[in-house]
A and B are shown apart, each in its own frame.
Chain A
Amino acid sequence: MAQRWLSDERLQERLFQAQIAGGPAVFVLPRPGYRKSYATFATRYGSIDNCFQLPGQPSPVQVPDGIAHFLEHQMFAQEDGDAFDRFAALGASANAYTSYTSTTYLFSTTERFDPAFEHLLAFVQRPHFTDGGTDKERGIIQQEIRMYADNPDWRLRQLLHEGLYQRHPFCIDIAGTVKSVGGITTGLLRQCYDTFYHPANMVVCVVGDVDADHVMELVEQSLAAHPRAPWSAPERWLPDEPPAVRRPRSVERMSVARPLLAVGFKERPGRVRGRAQLERDSWTEVGLDAVFGRSSARFASWYEIGLVDHSFGAGYYGEETFGLSQLSGETDDPQRLEEEIRRATDEVRRSGVPEADCERLRRSRLGEFLREFNSPESLGHALAALYFNGVDVFAYREVLEELTAEAVSARLAEHLDPERCSVAMVLPAEA
């Protein structure tokens, strides 16, 4: 077992990190003076892991869309009742969420951390699948899918992902469809659990006023109580994603007061991990802020003519195998806004981002990074996500400090490529 303390004097922060042999990575970030402790137990298994092959199997298995999210729901059904009950009895608040690349179980509590933490570790290692439970959960998940189908921002994002990506499972909704979850069975849930919920594929993060050695003891005890055969890592199959988009434009009508527009740029094919990923993300974010952010001349001129309002924003989201920039907002004139965005991206690809803008936005991002340390929830989330992507939590400050206008300009010139652009619109339903 390897373990160490990392520290950052400027941030006045220390981070404990350990890798248990054949087991999970463990992170502890002390928050002296906080009443709440926050713990997560996450597996590197998300909605894009829908095709995999175990060593010795003749061919890969393709599972129904939405199964990682379904499994997340189903994990709370335990042999002795609902896993939420034990948290509630301890006064802890529990939850879980599924992303494209991971599934996270979590709780926070202001008292009796130990039993709640033991429960978190135990229930995730002790699933209880029954056909009755699967059938009941299916109905709830189908309601959840319908609820999101009525959410215009969600639909806009989904349309954009589908327009940008042709084959990568990132273009499929995390929850799947009403139809695909109909095909999920107890046997498939168990198969996915066995494949991906192995401690060696997982990470434990604790943020709070807790002792790191004690956390390690509790983790070791729990692993000993739930023995598993050594992990055989599955091969995760991803289709070859072509560089081009699926379609240049997607339009849907629904009950909205006015049109929503999103312009997206997809990442080039390939894998990006570690510090390179952090650089890619921060250069893109600072660049988008400079071109489209609240302090840009463009935003002000669009705002003053009523083309955009405060709903307009530009952001980047990237993981190891996919990523996109999304520029979106409500507007009365989506055609005009799309033209203006295209013109702005052409300009920035030619002329780059001014040094002064980068300097100011670097400062601003640094302040935002510091403010993140106020929130145990966002820290817990970030620790696991950074670990899965091979990134050190304190590296962001260095990457920001080393950021240059040349790097930002070059990144935008490469990324804001009209060939890798797709547009999505949600328009008001016709009367």
Chain B
Amino acid sequence: MVDSGAPEEGWRMRRLGPRLRLFQAEGDRFKTCTLRVYLHAPLQAGTVTATALVPHLLGRGCEGHPDLTAIQRRREQLYGASVGAGVGKAGEVQSVFLGLDAVADRYLPPGSGVLAGAVDLLARLLLRPALDGEGRFPADIVAQEKENLGRRIRGLLNDKDLYANLRCIEAMCAGEPYALNGAGRLADLDGLGAAELTRRWRDLVEQAPIDIFAVGGGDGLAELVGQALEPLAAGSPTWPSTRVGTAPASPRRIEEQEPMQQAKLCMGYRTGITRGHPLYAGMLLAAGILGGFPHSKLFRNVREKASLAYYAHAHWDSLKGVVLVASGIEPERYAQAEGIITAQVEDLAAGRFDVDELEFTRLGLTNGMRAVMDSPYAMIDAAEHQALAGPLRPLSQRIAEIAAAGREDVVAAARTIVLDTVYFLRGPEGRPAAAGEGASGGEA
């Protein structure tokens, strides 16, 4: 049954069909079995919103559990097993996922059969949703979930950090699939009906490449999952991939206003480096030195030295090759903040970082990689991301690469970082008074 070795410490890969892979890791140290089924699709304008709606429709009813209340009551009977559907974006791949997290049967009264019950519920949600007489998602449910998705998309505005990041990426990657938010687009909603959404679900179930990640569940899991998801085994899939873009000759600048006290400064950079690149480890270290830890340049210089921001950090998307620097600042001190952030990136590329900055980052990264093994969700997230870019590599190998990367690798990686877009979100001039008190300016 095993036709692949042990590509990741703890992960064993089995092919359950031409487009269906099961990655399983032992989970005796956990009290649960955690499992996620990912159906991958290319992120593209034509399908992004329909794909985003599918998991919400799947959560509304299935064979044997016809509505929200029945599904939830079934979950509660299964000792609060969490079984549900969602959607995510990794690089230029949009994935519908069905997740399951159930207490391992060995902690429950004999005969509880929670794992088998939870796998059965997951399979019903994905493969046998409640449809109307014409084999479509019922019109009233489609209308409700379209309404809900519209609200969620409009509601992105409420979280100003996230909103600023999304707007920055949208502006920076205009014309590339990466600009699309995995949650979908407001403008598409009116045009989507039950027939099209049902077709989208069927397409995913019949054609999408599928990865299943499971932590725990024991020897019987492959058979249990293989039987429950048998209809997914057939078909020949095309694996979606992500294209790397380049920065314009001079950076784009965008400023927008919303009523708010603090301002958000988001700076988007391109680097040609992604997973699989020879400078992968160098880039991990470079992004970490720049803004991944409390000892990092951004935190130290923007927050600690200049008292300019409460947060300032950098995130590298290793599938797309984009580095996003995000900070919350006083609107009046925008120019100063941009200057300090720019100087940190320049210092990195010029090799102006000391041994401590490099070594603390190396330790922090390896500590984080090992700590992933203590959380089923973190293990699955990390493995899913890796599996989209190629074969899973053992933890020990990834740690050895970080150990082997030298200062010159960090500098070479940092030199590929080019500013693409500066996005600034701020309140209107003449900021409104802080809640519950008189207006009070920030002090220098």
Residues of chain A touching chain B, judged by Cβ–Cβ distance below 8 Å, are 10-12, 31-36, 82, 84-85, 88-94, 108-111, 136, 138-140, 142-147, 149-153, 155, 158, 162, 177-179, 182, 252, 254-258, 293-297, 299-300, 303-304, 306, 309-311, 330, 332, 360-361, 363-368, 370-371, 373-376, 429
Cβ contact within 8 Å between A370 and B435: no
Cross-chain contact B79 with A149 (CB below 8 angstroms): no
Do residues A370 and B77 form an inter-chain contact, with CB atoms below 8 A? no
User: When A and B form their complex, which 4 residue pairs have the shortest distance between CB atoms, in order from nearest?
Assistant: A91-B363, A139-B307, A367-B79, A367-B80
Nearest-neighbour CB distance to chain A for B18, whole angstroms, equals 34
* Chain A positions within 8 Å of B209 at CB level: none
**B295–A85 touching, CB < 8 Å:** yes
* Stretch in B23-31, B225-233, B240-248, B416-424 with 4+ CB within 8 Å of A: B23-31
* A89 CB → nearest B CB, Å: 6
Q: B356–A89 contact, CB under 8 A?
A: yes
Residues of chain B in range 96-115 having any CB-CB distance to chain A below 8 Å: 101-103, 107
Q: Are A179 and B310 in contact (CB under 8 A)?
A: no
B interface residue numbers (CB < 8 A to A):
28-32, 67-69, 72-73, 75-81, 101-103, 107, 140, 144, 147-148, 151-152, 154-160, 258-262, 293-295, 303-304, 307-311, 328-330, 356, 359-360, 363-364, 366-368, 370-371, 373-376, 434-438, 440, 442-444
The answer to whether residues A150 and B260 also contact, given A32-B29, A258-B151 and a CB cut-off of 8 A, is yes
Chain B residues whose CB sits within 8 angstroms of the CB of A92 once the complex forms: 367
Partner of A143, one of B30, B102, B309: B309
18 CB-based A-B contacts, threshold 8 Å: A31-B374, A32-B29, A84-B295, A88-B364, A93-B371, A145-B434, A147-B310, A162-B436, A300-B67, A303-B68, A311-B155, A330-B155, A360-B76, A364-B79, A367-B81, A371-B103, A374-B30, A375-B375
In the complex, what residues of A have CB within 8 A of residue B158's CB? 152-153, 256-257
Give 6 new A-B contacts, CB below 8 A, not counting A146-B262, A300-B68. Answer: A256-B158, A306-B148, A330-B155, A363-B76, A370-B103, A376-B374
Q: How far is the CB of A255 from chain B (nearest CB, A)?
A: 4
CB-based contact A139/B294 at 8 Å: no
B160 cross-chain contacts in A, Cβ below 8 A: 150-151, 255
Given contacts A140-B310, A146-B261, A91 and B437 within 8 Å (CB-CB): no
Interface pair A34/B261, CB less than 8 Å apart: no
Q: Which residues of A contact B152 (CB under 8 A)?
A: 309
Select the residue from B67, B359, B435 with max chain A CB neighbours within 10 A: B435
A85 to B435 Cα, complex, angstroms = 35
Complex contact A364–B442 (CB within 8 A): no
Are A256 and B434 touching (Cβ within 8 A)? no
**Residue among A88, A150, A153, A373 making CB contact with B295, cutoff 8 Å:** A88
List, in ascending order, chain B residues with CB within 8 A of A89's CB.
356, 359-360, 363
Residue of B with least CB distance to A11: B107
Contact check, A374 vs B368: say whether CB atoms are below 8 A apart.
no
CB <8 Å contact, B259 and A429: yes
Q: Give the docked Cα–Cα distance between A303 and B67 (Å).
A: 12
Contact status of A257 and B31, CB under 8 A, knowing A149-B261, A150-B262: no
From A90, A111, A297, B69 is in contact (CB under 8 Å) with A297
Question: B76 and A34: CB pair below 8 A?
Answer: no
B371/A155 in contact, CB under 8 A = no
A88 to B261 Cα, complex, angstroms: 33
- A375 nearest in chain B by CB position: B375
CB contacts (< 8 Å) of A374 on chain B: these are 30-32, 375-376
B77 and A179: CB pair below 8 A?
no
CB distance A360 to B151 under 8 Å?
Answer: no
B147 touches A306 (CB 8 A): yes
Which residues in A have their C-beta under 8 angstroms from that of B79? 363-364, 366-367, 370
> Nearest residue in B to A93 (C-beta to C-beta)?
B367
Q: In the complex, A367 Cα to B101 Cα: how many Å?
A: 10
Residues of B within 8 A of A110 (CB): 366-367, 370-371
Give the CA-CA distance A414 to B294 in the complex, in Å: 47
In the complex formed, the residue of B with least CB distance to A368 is B80
Within the complex, the shortest CB–CB distance from B166 to chain A, in Å, comes to: 13
- Chain B's closest residue to A91 (CB) is B363
Which B residue sits closest to A144, measured CB to CB? B310
**CB of A147, distance to nearest CB on chain B (Å):** 5
Min distance, Cβ A139 to any Cβ of chain B, angstroms: 3
Among B29, B103, B107, B311, point to the contact of A147 (Cβ < 8 A). Answer: B311
A108 near B330 with CB under 8 A, answer no
B359: chain A residues within 8 A (beta carbon)? 89
Closest to A92 in B: B367
Residues of A within 8 A of B366 (CB): 91, 110
Asked if A309 contacts B442 (CB within 8 A), the reply is no
B258: A residues at CB distance < 8 A: 255
List chain A residues, Cβ under 8 A from B436.
162, 177
Q: Within the complex, which residue of B157, B261, B307, B360 is in contact with A136, where a contact is CB–CB below 8 Å?
A: B307
Assess the B294–A88 pair: CB atoms within 8 A: yes
Contact in complex: A143, B375 (CB < 8 Å): no
Q: Would A257 and B151 count as touching, CB distance under 8 A? A: yes
Partner of B367, one of A11, A109, A155, A375: A109
Residues from chain B with Cβ under 8 Å of A255 in the complex = 157, 160, 258-260
Whole-angstrom distance between the Cβ of A400 and the nearest chain B Cβ: 11
A140 near B370 (CB under 8 angstroms)? no
Contact between chains at A91 and B103 (CB < 8 Å): no
Q: Which residues of A contact B303 (CB under 8 A)?
A: 140
Which residue on chain A has the smallest CB distance to residue B159?
Answer: A151
Cα distance, A31 to B373, chains bound together (Å): 13
Q: In the bound complex, do residue A309 and residue B148 qualify as a contact, i.e. CB atoms below 8 Å apart?
A: yes
Bound Cα distance from A90 to B293, whole angstroms: 13
How close is B381's CB to chain A, nearest CB, in angstroms? Answer: 15
Chain A residue nearest in CB terms to B373 = A35
Q: How far is the CA of A109 from the CA of B152 in the complex (A)?
A: 37
Residues on A with beta carbons closer than 8 Å to the beta carbon of B72:
293-295
State in angstroms the CA–CA spacing of A91 and B359 once bound together: 9
A150-B262, A300-B69 known; A363 and B107 CB under 8 Å?
no
Select B29's contact among A31, A365, A367, beta carbons within 8 Å. Answer: A31
